[in-house]
A and B are shown apart, each in its own frame.
Chain A
Amino acid sequence: MGTQILFAILAAVAVVCGIGVVVSASPVRSALNLVLVLCSVALLYLTLNASFVAAIQIIVYAGAIMVLFLFVVMILNLGSPEPLVNKLKPQTPLAVVAGLVLIGVIASVVASIPPQASGRLLPEATTGALTIGLSLFSPAWVFPFEAVSVLLLVATVGAVVLATRRAL
């Protein structure tokens, strides 16, 4: 019972703040709403026994990526709402309809999954950092792991090149 209530609260917070991200006028409000979404998703990870991923979610997403967003919003002084130039205003109701259709499509697919597809849950002992580390460096996953590290290096170099003040 307790977990259902917890899940309901977390899901509600995630969805309400998700709406907040989309409808907030100012980017700062949007970003702070997104931080709340990230935190509630991290707590949802905890209810799924994925504590390591939850911690990484907070550290990487909420602690680094979103602070970077806020930093850019503040450094460009974009605190004010966006200007009235909006060439795609009629798109808004269509977008909402499209979103609802998307939810419907996904829900119909999800509903076709038999409940408890495998009946076997990931045992708790295998969700810690040790298991995740060992599986990351197992032959199946080590190549993507190294590829991601190269990607991060490339992104770092790219960001530095973009950020150097030069006439583009």
Chain B
Amino acid sequence: MDFSQFSHIFWSVPTNEVPAADWWIDVLRAFVRILVPVFFVLLLVPPLVWFERRLLGFMQQRQGPNRVGPEGIVQTIADGVKLLMKEDIIPSNVDRTLYVLAPIIMLIPALVTAGVLPWHPSLVWGAGAPNVDIGVLYLLAWSSLAVYGVVMAGWASNNKYALLGGLRSSAQMISYELGMGIAVVTVVLISGALSVRDIVFDQSAYGWIKDAAHTTAHHAAYTWGIVHKPWLGFLNPWHVAQFFPMGFVAAFIYVVAMLAETNRSPFDLPEAETELVAGYHTEYTSMKFAMFFMGEYANMVVVSAIAATLFFGGWTTPIAQLDQWDNTAVGWIIPAAMISAKIGLGLYFFVWIRATLPRIRYDMLMSFGWKGIFPIALGNLFCVAVSLTAGYWAGLAVWIVLAVGALLIVANLDSTKRFTEKTRRRSVLGLYASAQPFQMPLVKTSNGAPPVDGRTAAEELVK
């Protein structure tokens, strides 16, 4: 095995155009190929921050940043410049090496993971490293390394709050990785492929059958995978709709685990500001803080891309006729637009969840991970296995039996009974209603419609 072969493991594509001796062509191509997803993720971060703040503003009935540039779109760049101008402080008594390394390690997994996610069916240009035959395991491996940035930052800062943040984060990530891993394995089982490229092909309504010879791996598993898949409407080929409740449950579990893995609300306990100041990045300033910030948002982009790829069809369209790519401009734009739109929806979902759900308590987080997400994922995986071996209806029957059994058990648990009694005494709904923000009635105009400028009665009184 020489270098050309080692390069093949990572970035080569099995085309006949490039002989193995000309490995530098492969490397050059790979360089360009890898830059595309990396730049996509990095360039998406500033608009994403603006998008999140504006959307949160909209959802909370306020403005959000709207001063710098049209609609405030340059706000993030202004913030970034401000951060760069700040003094770069390294506190005394910190572990300097780890303190400096932590923000870098935070950013790397997100960028490297982006490399295997395909955005186009093209074998040569469609993804950074389309030929990683263990693609899904590669994703899991990097996402499991992502925790080190947080842990190192928490420990190196020599600060109790930072340490607590790192501690919380490591426990949280281990716990939710299990559910996430099992949800991903469900997808592997449904599609019968480990390579991300093949998983996307498996979800194409048109492409897989047409282009079977084109994919990188041929498993016996594929044939039985296709035979047993039931049709459920036009979304059928997407894994979220496969084996109806099971694919959906797997997608749900992945989405919950992805919120936890990125430390986003409602699982943002590692940086819960009411308890931990700012958690693991309390001591960081200037560029290092900016890198943490970027790492968090890059991670958001990448996990929504993974969710889109594994469960929502990647670059495929739900309509078979649109999936007939070719080398025309349209054939390049449609897949790229589809995956971008799906990533965008995922990001919208992140913000939406943040605006909707309150942060949960830490013990609830852990018990939700271990007693909720993990057993559900495991049972769901079992049902998919039954569906694949004994047919969809057998799997569905097992699923229903398991679901009803689990519901009965949970309903009869002492803790559940205590919880329902408590809620009977103090209606949750009532509490929720009373927690609504107080709103002054709008000024009445002569025709009963609110005034054009939206002034409230309070402002009218002040005037």
Contacts and interface: CB of A to CB of B under 8 A. Distances in A.
Asked whether any CB of A lies within 8 Å of a CB of B in the complex, the reply is: yes
A144 interface: no
Interface stretch (B70-78, B151-159, B400-408, B419-427): B151-159
A75 interface: yes
A58 B144 contact: yes
B163 A71 contact: no
Interface stretch (A45-53, A88-96, A97-105): A45-53
Nearest to A51: B134
B1 A3 contact: yes
A59 interface: yes
Interface residues of A, number: 29
A136 interface: no
Given A2-B2, A128-B133, A35 B138 contact: no
User: Interface range on chain B: under 10, 10 to 19, 20 to 34, or 35 or more?
Assistant: 35 or more
A166 B134 CA distance: 44
Given A2-B2, A70-B170, A71-B167, A55 B141 contact: yes
B141 A59 contact: yes
B173 interface: yes
Nearest to A70: B151
A56 interface: yes
A47 B2 CA distance: 9
Interface stretch (A60-68, A110-118, A147-155): A60-68
Given A28-B155, A55-B141, A74-B170, A3 B148 contact: no
Interface string B436-453: 000000000000000000
Contacts of A70: 151, 155, 170
Given A51-B134, A70-B170, A71-B167, A63 B3 contact: no
Contact of A62 (B1, B137, B144, B177): B144
A113 to B, nearest CB: 20
A25 B221 CA distance: 51
Cβ-closest 6 pairs across A and B? A2-B3, A63-B144, A55-B137, A58-B141, A71-B170, A55-B134
Interface of A: 1-3, 6, 28, 32, 35, 46-47, 49, 51-52, 55-56, 58-59, 62-64, 67-68, 70-71, 74-75, 79, 128-130
Interface of B: 1-6, 9, 95, 98, 133-134, 137-138, 140-141, 144-145, 147-148, 151-152, 154-155, 163, 166-167, 170-171, 173-174, 177, 181, 194, 217, 219, 221
19 contacts: A1-B3, A2-B4, A3-B5, A32-B98, A46-B6, A49-B1, A51-B133, A51-B134, A58-B141, A58-B145, A64-B174, A64-B177, A67-B147, A67-B173, A70-B170, A71-B174, A74-B163, A79-B155, A130-B219
Given A6-B3, A52-B134, 19 more contacts: A1-B2, A1-B3, A3-B1, A3-B2, A6-B6, A46-B9, A51-B9, A59-B137, A59-B140, A59-B181, A62-B145, A63-B147, A64-B174, A67-B151, A71-B167, A74-B151, A75-B167, A128-B217, A129-B134
